[in-house]
Amino acid sequence: MTHRDEVDRIVAAWHRVRPDIDLAPLEIMSRISRINRRLDQARRQAFARHDLETWEFDVLAALRRAGSPYCLSPGSLATQTLVTSGTMTNRVDRLVARGLVTREADPADRRGVVVTATQQGLDQVDAAITDLLTVEKALLAPISAKQQQDLIEALRAVLGTLENS
């Protein structure tokens, strides 16, 4: 091993006091947890450079991915961003106040509402995703393209287990 990290030290300490248990899951899950915390920090910084909070990026990114005319129902936005409808209502209100989205009656069903990204919202989310991908590419630079593909497959399997439980 060329580099020992904090997880190696934690696992070694557990092994000293509990040599009777299999610590293999800790080797992976603790690293994922630590990567998640560091990645969250890196993402917040990338978004902040474009005057966006993480949740604002999430909503604007969902609208951007929807394609022209960049609109979705609040329910669809809530589903895609993993929040409650009440939380989404608050988020849409805040994005409207910032001029990043509009909220209008659904032309197909006047009882419904659609949220649409403004040009300013689209510009900010486009700049933020470009910045984010630069940051994330640099974070993945130490591993080869093959290792990245293997990691994608392995993480997809673990996420599938979590999502189906």
* SS3 of residue 104 by DSSP: strand
Show the CA angle centred on residue 28, arms to residues 18 and 2, nearest 5°.
90
Helix (H) or strand (E) holding 103: strand 101-106
Q: How far is CA 117 from CA 40, 42, 113, 122, 126, in A?
A: 24, 25, 13, 6, 12
Long-range contacts of 41-50 (CB under 8 A, 24+ apart): 42/135, 42/136, 42/139, 43/132, 43/135, 45/135, 46/128, 46/131, 46/132, 46/135, 47/128, 47/132, 49/128, 49/131, 50/124, 50/127, 50/128, 50/131
pLDDT at 1: 53
Q: What is the pLDDT along the chain (165 residues), one digit of tens a residue?
A: 568 899 999 999 999 999 999 999 999 999 999 999 999 999 999 999 999 999 999 999 999 999 999 999 999 999 999 999 999 999 999 999 999 999 999 888 888 999 999 999 999 999 999 999 999 999 999 999 999 999 999 999 999 999 898
What are the residue ranges spanned by the domains of the chain? 1-48, 52-163
* Domain 52-163 annotated CATH 1.10.10.10: yes
Q: Are 34 and 11 in contact (CB under 8 A)?
A: no
The edge-to-edge listing of strands for the beta sheet with 109-117 is 71-72, 109-117, 101-106
User: What CA–CA distance (Å, rounded) separates 106 from 113?
Assistant: 5
Amino acid 107: pLDDT:
85
The pTM of this model reads 0.85
